[in-house]
Amino acid sequence: MMEPTDENKVDDVVWQMTSDIIKEDDSEWKKRRAVPLVDLKDSNGPGSKTSYFTMYDEGHTRILASLVPDEIIYNIGDYSKRDFDGCLLFGDVSGKVEATSANFLLPSLPGFTDLCEKYNKSGKGGPSRLTQVLNNYIGAMVQEILSHGGDVLKFSGDAFIALWKVTDQLSMRDAVHEAIDCSLVIQKTYGTYQTDVDVVVRVKLAVASGHLVFSLVGNEESSHYLMTGDPIYAIKAAEHKASAGEIVITARVSRHISANEYLINVLPDGLHAKVLGVGPNWRNMQRQYEDKEYSQGQLGKDLDGQTSLLSDTSIISNMDDGTGGPMEDEISPITTDQYALRPAVNLAARLRLKEELRRFIIAPVVRGIDASEPLEYLTEIRQVAILFVNCKVSALVGPMEGIDVADNVYVTVCNAVKDRYGCVNKISNFDKDLMLLIIFGLRGFKHELESQIALKCATECFEKIKSLKEIDEVAAAVTSGRCYCGAFGHTLRREYTVIGLVVNKAARLMVAYPNKVTCDRETFLYSKLEARNFILQEYKPLKGIVQPGPIYEFKEVERTHDLGFSISPFPLLGREQELNLYNTLLKRACTLSQQENKKICNMLIVRGDFRQGKTRLLEEILYSSDPQIPIHTFTLTAADREVSFRTVQLMFLQFIGVPGKTSRSSRERKIKVRLQNRDIDDDLFVLNKVYDVRFPVTKKFDTEEQKLELLYKMFTILSKVCFSMFWIVAIDDADYIDDESWMLLQVLLDLKLIFVLATMGTQRELTTYALQVLKNEKIKIIEMKPIDKWFHVGLVCQMLGIEGVPPELEKTVQIRSNGNPGWIESFLVTLMQSGGLTVREIKRIHAYNIGVVMPPLYMLMRLSKEETELWMDIMEECTYSKKDEEASKRWKIFVDSCRESYPDLTVAKTFQQLKKDSMIMVCFLNAEFKLEDVVPEQHMDVVILQTFDSLTSYEQLLLKCSAVLGDVFPRDMLLYIMSSTATRLTALAVKKLFEIQVLSCARGNFLEGGLNFKDRLVDPNDDLTVKCDCIGLIIEDSCIDLPKYASCGYLRFRSSEFRETTYNLLTDNQKREFHGKAIRYLEKETRRCRACGSGYFSRYMGGGRLDDGLRNKQKSSTSGRKYSIISQESMDTHTDKSSILGQFSFSTTAKKDTMPKNSMALRETVLSGHRSSSTESGGDNFSVSAGTFLFPSGLGLTTINKLKDNYNLTRTFSTFDYSLCTCPLILSTMYSQLIEHCKGAGLVEKIMDATIEYSYVCMENKNAPQAIKVLDEALELLEGPMKDQIELEWMVSLKRGKLFTLLGRARMYLKDDEAYNFFMDALRHYGIHFPTSNIGRSLLKNRFKLNQTMRLYLFPPVFSKSIDEDLAEYCNNVSECLYLLCKFFSSKGRWDEAELAAIWSLSKAVETESDFEVICLGYASMIFIAAVTVQHNLCVALEVFALRTCHRKKTIVESEELKAVAILYNNIATARFLRAELDKAMQMSYPVWRIANAARSPEILLGAFPFLAYGTLLRKQIVEYGNILTEMLYLVDQDVDNSEKIWYHALCLMLHLETGFIVESVEKCNQFIQTEGFEKTVRDPTGKTRLIVCKWLWEIRNENWEAATMWQESAWDFNIVDKGEDMSNLISGLYLLEGLIIYMVNKMDMKNLKASNRADALITSLFHKLDAASNYCALLKPRMWHLRAYYVMAKHNDYKTAFKHLKKAQKVAEKQHNDLEIEWIDHSELAWNNKITTDVLYSWQEHCEEENYIQFNELDSIENLVLYSLPLPIYI
């Protein structure tokens, strides 16, 4: 890129290049083209340094030139008729064209419409995508024509016509050859073009030759071109003969072909012929100027490549704040070559035709080019109004004169639409038809009332053209709607075109309804003109338009001065405010008019939008005015403003009369009569002008002031005489008051003789003087607001004369009308006319029952104030509530309560009619009519578009990109999407957008990184000050002089509407591109949270869950498919970061200072003793011990035996801590955005991947409903659009499997048993049959078991094997599903099925060993099942292998993986508890505690805590127990669920029961139980059970029988299932058992046999169950035997057996190191033998007194446990 520092130097360069071009093709173009008439020898000849023709101009010229045919460029100033011979080639893409006159001009044709619909239906991006397809297609053909030397005269969306002109260098024969050769190439190469919706685009071609006349039309302002001649007609006929894929030539063309040059097939008509191919005599027309190689390359690119908005604008990144320009590279030597294909473009640049070319191109395009915008910027989807004019030239006019007529018509139309927001886009002639296309509302030409303007322009054109004598017939049609607008075609030859059904519709209307101005429903509605200006037309089918809706003739009705003073029988709705204001002002003006000093306000102007109901309000006001005051009303029209004093004349109408209606002499007489006897006759002449009278002039004034003074004086006198009493003067449309009248009106107002009421629109511009006058304090202006929604139903009923409307209609009106009653009226009219609405009579009660909305009575009839109040009273309605949804409720009340007890009031009569059975008129919507078809009014859009259009192209680009990102977006992301590095340019754009209130600051916090979530909910419009509140913003040096907000880092749209409107401007292609960039940004730039070191995520979207670290040390994966969207580099960065993090979390001292209270710091101290003994003391033991555990040699069994008791086998993962991590939040935001962008970009497969990841994040954030929502959406996607994209059915199946798995998971989380069906469905989709029969299950189970045994005992795990990633993903997904299924079965106690699922899950997980999480979970479930099903050996083996696997994980452990580890460890711990391996279990429990905390999983923590606590209790580690409970308190605060709280109190109570020590006082526990213990449903019900049982036992032990009764029922109520009961519940069972025996003993003492027997039965059953449970839960055994001894003692008084049992208990307890039990057994033995003192016997009870509490940490030694003595029956 060159540095244009020196002006002269630049010129030199430019010149050099230009001269090169000339040198290069100077002779070239002469050979082929006619000599241009423009003088080449301009004075600023080559080499002149005074040239001001800059490189910008040159680039601009080239672009301008690309928009016109060669024929214009070569003879640009020649407006004469040029006749020459030539050959034409006509191409039509759609293939089904009839020879109607409108065809060629139409940018789109029937075939095109078919395609449109296909694209619409298939959801492939609609017409805009189609446009792109056609653009590429036609672009490629244009290229072919250019390379054959043809001149593309014009083309549109789907058709083109090209010319080969006969010149000295090109004979007719050559021309015909070129055309046919070109046609053959086109048919061969692009004859059929497969689009992406199973649509084959085909082209048919026709060639004709002969004499042609070409002429420019128009003037220096705007010009166009026309062509006429026989070949034009001939080619249409020929084209009509052709089918898609064919070439048809005319007879004349055939004459220029020699025999056997082409293979020709003459058609039956004998005139036309089909060209099938080249014949043996074909001669090669190859020329030296053809650069075949180049054109081929270009061709390929144009067909495949998408015209990208950014690829053309990527120069922006190199643009340095205006010093360079986008045109720079267009003149670089390399790119200049691209013009070689069309030398005319270079010629235009060389001849500096910039100014001359402008008039051929419509203004919005020229403006864009002037602003150096790439033409692609103009491509957008825009709301426009289309005007088509068609006229038939008289048959008397010859073809040559026809061109003059066309010229005349063209200029007429141009003048009509000029300055009225219209652009004449095309003119075309065929035979006697002349057609023009005018577009309203293009860029920079946006007007809110463009539909109205278009209608008025249409009328004007219609009238003017009709008056031309050469014209026989005129038709004009206006339509409104959204169109694809843009430059279409090839870089070297393109045309600005609008494409859309709206355009087709206008063209069809114009043909179908001749001799009038017609329009469609949308135009009628948008125009905001009254319905009386529109006449409904009979229905005519319009080709290609499925539902044209009602069609109207537009005929503007003239307004007169007389205000047709009609008063509506209906009450005026929603205008109380205006009425009240008027009454107040009038009253004051009336009473104070005589008082000199009082200030009054005696003119009220009601300002309102079109059809806002101004006149209706005026009428209502006058109707309600005091009948004593005389009223004079009149309406002004546009013409009135042109006449001086017109308004004043009209005001004095009844006193003097107005010119035109009364004679001058009558007026003179009347004035004289009024002013007689005042001796002022000499001065009357000053009134001459005012009343158009001619009193003799008697004086001359020196100054104007004197004259004015006299005028005021005379006017005052006259006014006082005329308005001798107080008048009301009402003026409708006061915007048309002339300035002179304003002047006198002020005088009149000062006199306080009248009150003026006026209406005024908001659209018309007032004169400066009028605006000045309006500041007068005597004038009050009130703006009319939209009618409140509450009244809409009333309005509708009034307008239709009915009493009820369907709710859908009410809703539509409310949403779409913007409260404009005129719109509602027009809307209803169109609805009625198009048959969408019918009125029927039905019973009131029936109407009520079917939900018809019926407005209250006071909306339908004029009731007095009292009546209204009464009515509302009956309806229990005190205020006009604005809540529309309440309306129906109130109505019900009304119907029910309507009484007939008000005989005195007129309203009562009406009430009589309101009986349920009375008939009322109600309207209904016809079933097939869709209200959604009515496009809403887009008021805001216009304002927004006007703002948008006023921006520079860079600002527009910035906004377009922003719109893609959402309401709030980071600047960094915006810049990425814009691909812009122009920091200052961006800052300036942002500054401007802040200042015009489009953007504002979203308060980013760049110290913390990113958005401050708290501030997110702030309404951006609360504070309109332009500022930036970002924290930690780094401002670029280049922007240091700009305000801070120019550099704002986190932006937001002030209005979502602005964003939406901007977004809607984007074509689908642009959307795809920007969304695509947004996706790349999110994938590349999303960083982890600060706690995680702000690095990149290593887990990424799209099946990247394979774990390299676990799998294979050799990099076998690099050769395979790369899942990663993150480069290896970034992975490395992350690893570095994590190691830093690792060091950080190991420095215990550092932690204490930096981490919050609830961090691991405390836990570290609590556990420090254990950690040093049981686990490593510092660092992850992986590095130390990896070698020890990863030895590859040794057989399974040896390994197990070697390792099973090795404490160091447990890897602690202490380097990983996610306790402060907020990554899930970041990911949640990221994925939800990603999904939106994928939708926008249409990347269906990516949506799927993102959704899957997002659902994981949702579950991580405990938002199961959200997960279900997005998964359901994804499922829908899979059934719909995605099906077409994924061709392989099995892949769809796998995706479904995954979605079902995740849906099941979310449902299981919500405790919905439906989950089961989802898992089963998932497995089915995975192609797996999970047997439901017992036999099938056991067979399968055995097979897996065998495999497992082999794997575990005989073969060591396979360390490195190369695997197929698809297979790995499949296995992992299946394993995941089976794991969840196993979890489901376990929770239901269906152990048999659970076991199979677990085995299967694990076997799938280890099949490829590629996902650490899946493997952990697989082992976890299997270990759990093995423990519960008492397969101890298997369990131990599994533990060893699982723990070994943990050591093999080498890459970073993500939080989900860590969670899986926690689950695994927890299950191992549980298994060990079940085996009663107390120490080993606790050794496992501590890491669980730490890891679960690090993985932010309170559920797992909660699961682990009670057992860990219980373990310490059994080992009599009372202090430790207390510490654990204290630690638990932190959890209590963190969780919303009450589970922790309940467990905490249960454990507190347990400690007291077992040892007499307390952590929390018993009172506090009681308090908790009473207040909140049982209110909530909790996640974990086992804690609740424990708490109740302990509480009951505590009361029993204290012999508080009454209190105990309270808990008895709930305590006895829990049932222990036969197999696999939760260990917590089993332990609770022990407490229950103890309580029951004590209870029984007591009842026995009381001789309550019934109660004791009942207790006995329960005890027996409980013993039975616990006995069974102790098979797999050995931990129960000591207490079981102890209690059995007690039972035998109590029940049977059998000392011998009792002590035998006690011995047994002791033995088991000792074996299990159950120190607590040992001590209690000793105590019981002594107690039962009466060997202890009474003190000791009752010491536990004593310690239940508050004063005797011992805190757990007061314990000096463990000798002094306060134990309870189990009481024996008295009879012992």
Among the listed ranges 370-378, 425-433, 1219-1227, 1280-1288, the one in contact with Zn ion (CB under 5 A) is 1219-1227
Q: CA 1382 to CA 1467: how far, in whole Å?
A: 14
- Which residue in 1048, 1101, 1363, 1502 binds Zn ion (CB under 5 A)? 1048
Q: Among 455, 406, 463, 443, which residue's Cα sits nearest to residue 223?
A: 406
Task: State which of residues 234, 475, 1030, 1270 lies at the interface with Zn ion (CB under 5 A).
Answer: 1030
Q: Is residue 355 classed as helix, strand or coil in its secondary structure? A: helix
d(Cα 539, Cα 541) in Å, to the nearest integer? 7
State in angstroms the smallest separation of the CB of 220 from Zn ion: 50
| Residue number with CB closer to Zn ion (446 or 1099) | 1099
Question: Between 142 and 1092, whose beta carbon lies closer to Zn ion?
Answer: 1092
Residue whose tokens read 């305000």: 1043
CB of 944 to Zn ion, least distance (A): 23
By beta-carbon proximity to Zn ion, the closer residue of 1092 and 1518 is 1092
Identify whether the C-beta of residue 331 lies closer than 8 Å to the C-beta of residue 17.
yes
Name 173's Cβ contacts closer than 8 Å, sequence gap at least 6: 256
Nearer to Zn ion, 412 or 1047 (CB): 1047
1230 binds Zn ion (CB under 5 A): no
- Which residue, 1012 or 1467, is less far from Zn ion as judged by CB? 1012
State which H helix or E strand residue 1052 sits in: strand 1050-1053
Nearest-approach distance from CB 1142 to Zn ion, in angstroms: 14
Instruction: Rule CB under 5 A: say whether 1141 interacts with Zn ion.
Output: no
Structure tokens at 828: 């209803």
Of the ranges 76-84, 967-975, 998-1006, 1644-1652, which one interacts with Zn ion (CB under 5 A)?
Answer: 998-1006
Q: CB-wise, 444 or 1043, nearer to Zn ion?
A: 1043
Region binding Zn ion by CB under 5 A among candidate stretches 809-817, 1046-1054, 1309-1317, 1759-1767:
1046-1054
Per the CB < 8 A criterion, the answer to whether 1228 and 1257 are in contact is yes
Nearer to Zn ion, 406 or 1089 (CB): 1089
Binding residue (CB under 5 A) for Zn ion from 414, 416, 965, 1223:
1223
Smallest distance, Å, CB 1075 to Zn ion? Answer: 24
Please state the closest distance from residue 1092 (CB atom) to Zn ion, in A: 3
DSSP characters over 260-289: TSEEEEE-TTSS-EEEEEE-TT------TT
1495 binds Zn ion (CB under 5 A): no
| Tokens 């002469």 sit on residue | 30
What's the closest the beta carbon of residue 1019 comes to Zn ion, in angstroms?
Answer: 16
Contacts 24+ apart (CB under 8 A), 1153-1159: 1155/1220, 1156/1220, 1157/1530, 1158/1530, 1158/1533, 1158/1534, 1159/1219, 1159/1220
Residue span binding Zn ion (CB under 5 A) among the ranges 263-271, 929-937, 1047-1055, 1264-1272: 1047-1055
Three-state SS at 1713 = coil
Other Cβ atoms closer than 10 A to 1197: 13
Site string for Zn ion, 1390-1429 (x = CB under 5 A): ----------------------------------------
Report residue 658 as tokens. Answer: 């107005």
Pick the closer one to Zn ion by CB: 287 or 1027.
1027
Residue type present at position 246? E
Among 64, 257, 982, 1028, binds Zn ion (CB under 5 A): 1028
Rounded CA-CA distance 857/844 in Å is 13
Which amino acid, residue 292?
K
CB of 484 to Zn ion, least distance (A): 36
Q: How far is the CB of 1000 from Zn ion (least distance, A)?
A: 8
- In the bound state with Zn ion, the residue whose beta carbon lies nearer, of 215 and 962, is 962
- Minimum Å distance from CB 1271 to Zn ion? 24
# of chain residues touching Zn ion (CB under 5 A): 9
Cα–Cα distance, 1033 to 1036 (Å, whole number): 10
CA distances from 106 to 158, 202, 440, 621, 1062 (A): 9, 18, 17, 51, 28
| Least distance in angstroms from the C-beta of 1093 to Zn ion | 8
Q: Which of 755, 722, 713 is nearest to 654 (CA)?
A: 722
The nearest distance, CB 319 to Zn ion, in angstroms, is 25
Q: For Zn ion, give the closer residue by CB, 934 or 1048.
A: 1048
Residue closer to Zn ion by CB (options 1048, 1666) is: 1048
CB of 1223 to Zn ion, least distance (A): 3
Distance of CA 177 to the CA centre of its chain: 54
3-state secondary structure of 973: helix
Nearer to Zn ion among residue 1028 and residue 1437 (C-beta): 1028
Nearest approach, Cβ of residue 1063 and Zn ion (Å): 22
Q: For the chain, how big is the Rg over CA atoms in Å?
A: 46
1446 binds Zn ion (CB under 5 A): no
| Per CB under 5 A, 483 contacts Zn ion | no
Assess contact for 492 and 522: CB atoms under 8 A: no
Q: Does 922 bind Zn ion (CB under 5 A)?
A: no
> Where in 783-822 is the site for Zn ion (CB under 5 A)?
none
How far apart, in Å, are the Cα atoms of 953 and each of 169, 284, 957? 44, 47, 6
Least gap, CB of 1246 to Zn ion (angstroms): 24
What is the b/e burial string over 113-134, where b = at least 16 CB atoms within 10 angstroms of the residue's CB?
A: bebbbebbebebbbbbbbbbbb
366 binds Zn ion (CB under 5 A): no
990 binds Zn ion (CB under 5 A): no
Which of the stretches 414-422, 1163-1171, 1217-1225, 1616-1624 binds Zn ion when contact is defined by CB under 5 A?
1217-1225
Residue 1001 near Zn ion by CB under 5 A: yes
- Cβ proximity to Zn ion, 201 vs 1001, nearer residue: 1001
Q: Hey, which residues does 389 pair with through a beta bridge? A: 436, 476
687 binds Zn ion (CB under 5 A): no
CA torsion sign, 783 to 786 to 790 to 796?
positive
**Of residues 1221, 1518, 1569, 1589, which one binds Zn ion by CB under 5 A?**
1221
Phi, psi of 834 (to 5 degrees): -90, 10
For residues 361 and 1089, which CB has a smaller minimum distance to Zn ion in the complex? 1089
Three-state secondary structure readout of 75-141:
CCCCCCCEEEEEEEEEEECCCCCCCCCCCCCCCCCHHHHHHHHHHHHHCCCHHHHHHHHHHHHHHHH
Give Cβ neighbours of residue 1158 (< 8 Å, ≥ 6 apart). 1530, 1533, 1534
Selected range binding Zn ion among 345-353, 488-496, 760-768, 1022-1030, rule: CB under 5 A: 1022-1030
CB of 17 to Zn ion, least distance (A): 45
Nearest to 507 by CA among 386, 377, 627: 386
C-beta closer to Zn ion: residue 350 or 1088? 1088
Q: Would you say 344 or 1046 has its CB closer to Zn ion?
A: 1046
* Environment class of 1146 (CB within 10 Å of its CB; exposed 0-12, middle 13-18, buried 19+): middle
Shortest separation between residue 1047's beta carbon and Zn ion, angstroms: 8
Q: Interface mask (CB under 5 A) for Zn ion, residues 1076-1095, using x and -? A: ------------xx--x---
| Other residues' Cβ atoms within 10 Å of the Cβ of residue 1093 | 19
1248 belongs to the binding site for Zn ion (CB under 5 A): no
Footprint on this chain of Zn ion (rule: CB under 5 A) = 1001, 1028, 1030, 1048, 1088-1089, 1092, 1221, 1223
